Amino acid sequence: MVSSPLATPVPADDPLRFERLSVFVRGLEVEAGIGVYDHEQGRLQRLVIDVTLELEPGPIERLGDTINYETVADAARAIAAEGHVGLVETFAERLARACLEDGRVQRATVRIEKPGALAAVAAPGCEIVLGR
């Protein structure tokens, strides 16, 4: 059996250092009540969400040392479940703030597309960045 060199522990005298650690979720689809126009009230619309979280860099040995992707997806679904949100920007800010509740997250970038909201456009949307 061949063992992977990545499976060995990092030596104490390792000259390399962590400079950046990002965790991301791309293309998360959520059905949400969203929009300010009358025709958007009382119906769900598809949002496509990308989240990038920058964490305090450091060794990662177990799931507890990082952010679980499912936590990010659950936060987005919870915001949608809370009820109608007027603006995509508001949804993005709420999700970024939810991610920053974990003290290991130093910066949260949330990009939301709202496909079908504008004719002849692949997807309008917004991107918000919140940091400590």
* Beta strands at 45-55 and 21-32: parallel, antiparallel or unpaired: antiparallel
The reply to whether 114 belongs to the active site is yes
Backbone CA torsion sign across 54, 60, 66, 68: positive
Band (119; pLDDT cuts 50, 70, 90): confident
For residues 76 and 103, give the distance between their C-alpha atoms in angstroms, rounded to a whole number. Answer: 18
Catalytic residue among 114, 117, 125, 128: 114
Q: State pLDDT tens for residues 60-116.
A: 888 888 999 999 999 999 999 999 999 999 999 999 999 999 999 999 999 999 998
The average pLDDT across 111-131 equals 93
Burial of 130 (0-12, 13-18, 19+ CB in 10 A): middle
Structure pTM? 0.86
Backbone CA torsion sign across 110, 115, 121, 122: positive
User: For 7, how many CA atoms within 13 A lie in the half-sphere containing its CB?
Assistant: 3
